[in-house]
Chains A and B, each alone.
Chain A
Amino acid sequence: MSEFVTRRSVLAGAGAGAALTTLPISMVTLAFGGEREDFTFTYISDAHIQQIKGASFVRNWDQGLKRAVAEANLVRPESDFVIFGGDLAQLGKREELDHGAEMLSKLKGRLHAVMGEHDYYLDLGDYWSKLYGPHYYSFDHKGVHFVVLNSILTSEQWTFHRWPTAEQRMLEMAGLDNPNGSPFMVGDKQRKWLANDLAKLDKKTPLVVFSHSPLQKIYKGWNFWTDDAEEVQALLAPFDSVNVIYGHVHQIQYNQIGNISFNSVMATAWPWPYPQSYAQAESHLPVLTIPMNRADPFFERDATGWQLIDMGSGRVTARYQLWDNDQRTVAFDHKAGHPVDVAYQEPTQRRLPQNQY
Chain B
Amino acid sequence: MAVRKRAATMLAAMLSLSNAGFANVGFAGVAVAEPLGLPPVPIPPDNPQSSDKIALGNRLFHDLRFSSDGAVACATCHKDDHAFTDSPLRTSEGIRASDGIGKKTGTRNAPTIINSAYFTTLFWDGRSASLEDQSQHPFLNPVEMGLATHEPILAIARTDPFYVELFKKAFGKTGDGVTMEEVKKAIAAYERTIVSADSPFDHWRFGHQENAISEAAKRGFEVFVGQGRCVSCHVIEQDQALFTDNRFHNIGVGINRAQFDVPRLSAEFLTAKAKGADVDKAVLTDPKTSELGRFAVTDQFDVIGAFKTPTLRNVAVTAPYMHDGSLRTLKDVVKHYNNGGRSEGDPAQVNDYLSGGIRPLNLTEQQMDDLVAFMETLTTPAYFGAKTR
Are A17 and B273 neighbours in the complex by a CB distance under 8 Å? yes
Chain B interface residue count, Cβ-Cβ cutoff 8 angstroms: 39
Task: Report chain A residues within 8 Å CB of B247.
Answer: 3-5
- Comparing A166-174, A187-195, A250-258, A320-328, the segment that makes contact with chain B is A320-328
* Interface of chain B residues 36 through 58 with chain A (CB within 8 A): none
Are A280 and B297 neighbours in the complex by a CB distance under 8 Å? no
Task: Report chain B residues within 8 Å CB of A323.
Answer: 302, 356
Are A5 and B246 neighbours in the complex by a CB distance under 8 Å? yes
Q: Which residue of B lies closest to A6 (CB)?
A: B120
Chain B nearest CB from A279 CB (Å) reads: 12
Size category, A interface: 35 or more
Are B246 and A19 neighbours in the complex by a CB distance under 8 Å? no
Is B229's CB within 8 Å of the partner chain A?
yes
Are B299 and A10 neighbours in the complex by a CB distance under 8 Å? no
Q: Which residue of B lies closest to A303 (CB)?
A: B356
- Comparing B13-21, B108-116, B262-270, the segment that makes contact with chain A is B262-270
Chain B nearest CB from A281 CB (Å) reads: 7
Are A10 and B121 neighbours in the complex by a CB distance under 8 Å? yes
Query: In whole angstroms, how far apart are the Cα atoms of A74 and B303 in the complex?
Result: 13
Are B354 and A321 neighbours in the complex by a CB distance under 8 Å? no
Are B120 and A5 neighbours in the complex by a CB distance under 8 Å? yes
* Interface of chain A residues 1 through 49 with chain B (CB within 8 A): 2-7, 10-11, 13-14, 17-19, 21-22
Are A59 and B263 neighbours in the complex by a CB distance under 8 Å? no
Is A299's CB within 8 Å of the partner chain B?
yes
Task: Report chain A residues within 8 Å CB of B120.
Answer: 5-7
Q: Which residue of A lies closest to B362 (CB)?
A: A281
* Interface of chain B residues 215 through 242 with chain A (CB within 8 A): 226-227, 229, 232
Q: Which residue of B lies closest to A295 (CB)?
A: B356
Query: In whole angstroms, how far apart are the Cα atoms of A357 and B76 in the complex?
Result: 68
Is B149's CB within 8 Å of the partner chain A?
no
Is B298's CB within 8 Å of the partner chain A?
yes
Chain B nearest CB from A157 CB (Å) reads: 42
Query: In whole angstroms, how far apart are the Cα atoms of A14 and B388 in the complex?
Result: 33
In the complex, which of the residues A10, A71, A300 contacts B356, with contact meaning CB atoms closer than 8 Å?
A: A300
- Comparing B94-102, B122-130, B173-181, B205-213, the segment that makes contact with chain A is B122-130
Query: In whole angstroms, how far apart are the Cα atoms of A312 and B165 in the complex?
Result: 62
In the complex, which of the residues A11, A14, A71, A302 contacts B353, with contact meaning CB atoms closer than 8 Å?
A: A71
Are B297 and A74 neighbours in the complex by a CB distance under 8 Å? no
Q: Which residue of B lies closest to A73 (CB)?
A: B263
Chain B nearest CB from A183 CB (Å) reads: 33
Is A91's CB within 8 Å of the partner chain B?
no
Contact with A along B273-303 (1 / 0, CB 8 A): 1100001000000000000000001111111
Are A74 and B273 neighbours in the complex by a CB distance under 8 Å? no
Is A66's CB within 8 Å of the partner chain B?
yes
Are A70 and B353 neighbours in the complex by a CB distance under 8 Å? yes
Q: A10-B121, A70-B353 known; A19 and B299 CB under 8 Å?
A: yes
Are A324 and B356 neighbours in the complex by a CB distance under 8 Å? yes
Task: Report chain A residues within 8 Å CB of B248.
Answer: 3, 5
Task: Report chain B residues within 8 Å CB of A69.
Answer: 352
Task: Report chain A residues within 8 Å CB of B227.
Answer: 280
Are A18 and B300 neighbours in the complex by a CB distance under 8 Å? yes
Is B136's CB within 8 Å of the partner chain A?
no
Task: Report chain B residues within 8 Å CB of A18.
Answer: 298-300
Are A74 and B359 neighbours in the complex by a CB distance under 8 Å? no
Q: What number of A-B contacts does a CB cutoff of 8 Å give? A: 102
Task: Report chain B residues within 8 Å CB of A324.
Answer: 302, 355-357
Is A76's CB within 8 Å of the partner chain B?
yes
Chain B nearest CB from A74 CB (Å) reads: 5
Query: In whole angstroms, how far apart are the Cα atoms of A164 and B262 in the complex?
Result: 50
Residue with the greatest number of chain A CB neighbours at <10 A, chosen from B267, B298, B299: B298
Q: Which residue of B lies closest to A322 (CB)?
A: B302
Chain A nearest CB from B150 CB (Å) reads: 19
Query: In whole angstroms, how far apart are the Cα atoms of A4 and B121 in the complex?
Result: 10
Are A321 and B301 neighbours in the complex by a CB distance under 8 Å? yes
Query: In whole angstroms, how far apart are the Cα atoms of A3 and B248 in the complex?
Result: 7
Chain B nearest CB from A283 CB (Å) reads: 11
Are A22 and B270 neighbours in the complex by a CB distance under 8 Å? yes
Query: In whole angstroms, how far apart are the Cα atoms of A263 and B100 in the complex?
Result: 58
Are B352 and A74 neighbours in the complex by a CB distance under 8 Å? no
Query: In whole angstroms, how far apart are the Cα atoms of A19 and B269 in the complex?
Result: 13
Q: Which residue of A lies closest to B358 (CB)?
A: A300
Are B267 and A76 neighbours in the complex by a CB distance under 8 Å? yes
Query: In whole angstroms, how far apart are the Cα atoms of A226 and B354 in the complex?
Result: 36
Task: Report chain A residues within 8 Å CB of B298.
Answer: 2, 13, 18-19
Q: Which 9 A-B pairs have the closest CB atoms?
A: A301-B356, A19-B299, A70-B352, A300-B356, A10-B129, A13-B298, A299-B356, A71-B301, A3-B247
13 extra interface residue pairs, beta carbon distance < 8 Å, beyond A5-B121, A17-B273, A67-B352: A5-B120, A5-B248, A17-B270, A19-B298, A21-B299, A21-B300, A21-B301, A59-B359, A74-B266, A74-B301, A280-B229, A302-B356, A327-B302
Partner-B contacts on A (CB < 8 A):
2-7, 10-11, 13-14, 17-19, 21-22, 59-60, 63, 66-67, 69-71, 73-74, 76, 280-281, 298-302, 304, 321-324, 327
Interchain Cβ contacts under 8 Å between A and B, 10 examples: A2-B298, A5-B246, A10-B121, A14-B297, A17-B270, A18-B299, A19-B300, A21-B301, A281-B359, A300-B357
Partner-A contacts on B (CB < 8 A):
120-121, 126-130, 226-227, 229, 232, 246-248, 262-263, 266-267, 270, 273-274, 279, 297-304, 340, 352-357, 359-360
